[in-house]
A and B are shown apart, each in its own frame.
Chain A
Amino acid sequence: AQKVTQTQTSISVMEKTTVTMDCVYETQDSSYFLFWYKQTASGEIVFLIRQDSYKKENATVGHYSLNFQKPKSSIGLIITATQIEDSAVYFCAMREGNYAQGLTFGLGTRVSVFP
């Protein structure tokens, strides 16, 4: 069975600094896909970035990047040059390569960015 664990409940950072949050996952599948989403205070869930299990290079989109450590079943999210509007709850999610599966989410990490 799939499982996604985010151990950090909340993180506070100063604006313009870098924040890193952890995620570990469990799967029996050799092919899987890892996603990060953020949920804003209004409840809106926004897709941020994706990592495919068969790719060795870490994904990067804008000021989001991933630290994919496959042997450790770990996919960390790094946000550089944080802004106040990055304050949100960040969710790590996984889908195995199977057809039509839903996402399995972690419980989220709340990030607060202070000026």
Chain B
Amino acid sequence: NSKVIQTPRYLVKGQGQKAKMRCIPEKGHPVVFWYQQNKNNEFKFLINFQNQEVLQQIDMTEKRFSAECPSNSPCSLEIQSSEAGDSALYLCASSLSPWGLYEQYFGPGTRLTVL
């Protein structure tokens, strides 16, 4: 079972609504990644953090998506104004290090449906 905790497991929103999902990384993992997996199994990297600092994010994330990893609180990913195309499985992964050789361990995901 995943040691990365994601809540909620399912999220249903109307277009234009905010959608917020949370992630608690595996204990001792300072690095958190967010991915989007669509129904065609295409994964898209969104953003990653080391502790509270953003390491890298894609352009899409900079516009309607916001994310944070506050100290002593779950990390979160929020879509400010949901669109139908945002319907997907949002996956949080954690790792010991941002360097490439370290494995990422995934949570169960939050399945977002935008009506």
Contacts and interface: CB of A to CB of B under 8 A. Distances in A.
Interface residues of A, number: 29
B104 interface: yes
Contact of A42 (B33, B55, B99, B108): B108
A93 B50 CA distance: 21
A32 B106 contact: no
Contacts of A104: 43, 45
A98 to B, nearest CB: 7
Nearest to B109: A43
A103 B45 contact: yes
Interface in A54-106: 89, 91, 93, 95-105
Interface of A: 31-33, 35, 37, 42-47, 50, 52, 89, 91, 93, 95-105, 107-108
Given A44-B108, A100-B98, A101-B45, 16 more contacts: A33-B101, A45-B91, A45-B106, A52-B101, A91-B41, A95-B100, A97-B100, A99-B99, A100-B56, A102-B56, A103-B35, A103-B43, A103-B45, A103-B104, A105-B42, A107-B41
8 tightest A-B CB contacts, nearest first: A102-B45, A100-B55, A45-B106, A105-B43, A95-B100, A100-B98, A100-B56, A108-B41
